[in-house]
Amino acid sequence: MKTVNIDDVYVRLQVRHPYMSDKQKAIAQKVRDAEHVVEQIKRHVDDVFDVEVVREYKGTCSHCGSRWTEDDPNYNGGCCHEDQDQYELSIKQGVTQ
C-alpha cells in the first residue's frame, strides 16, 4: 500500500504576466521581472535556502502551434495536415521510429 507524506515544502511565486501582443517579448519581460524578484528576495528576506528563476517549457507543433501531446518527437498524432503528411511521408520512406 502506498503512503503519501509531505516530502518538501516551498513557496512558488509567479510574477504577473505582462500584457503584450508579442508573446516572446512578454516572456522576456516576465523573465526580467522574475530575476528582479529573486534579487530582492536574496537581499531582503532571511532564512531563504535557495531562490531561483525557473523556466517551464512546453512542446508545440512547428506547423500549427498545437500543444505537443505525443511521446514521439516527430509525430503529434496528426494535429494538422502538415503533421500527418510528414508522418505518412516518413512511413513511405521507412524513417519511422
Kindly list the residues in this chain that would bind Zn ion in the complex (CB under 5 A): 61, 63-64, 66, 79-80, 83
CB of 75 to Zn ion, least distance (A): 10
How many Å is the Cα radius of gyration of the chain? 21
CB of 65 to Zn ion, least distance (A): 7
**Grid cell listed for 75:** 509525430
Nearer to Zn ion, 15 or 63 (CB): 63
CB of 77 to Zn ion, least distance (A): 9
> Are 74 and 90 in contact, with CB atoms under 8 Å apart?
yes
Q: Quick one: which of 75, 80, 76 has its CA closest to 90?
A: 75
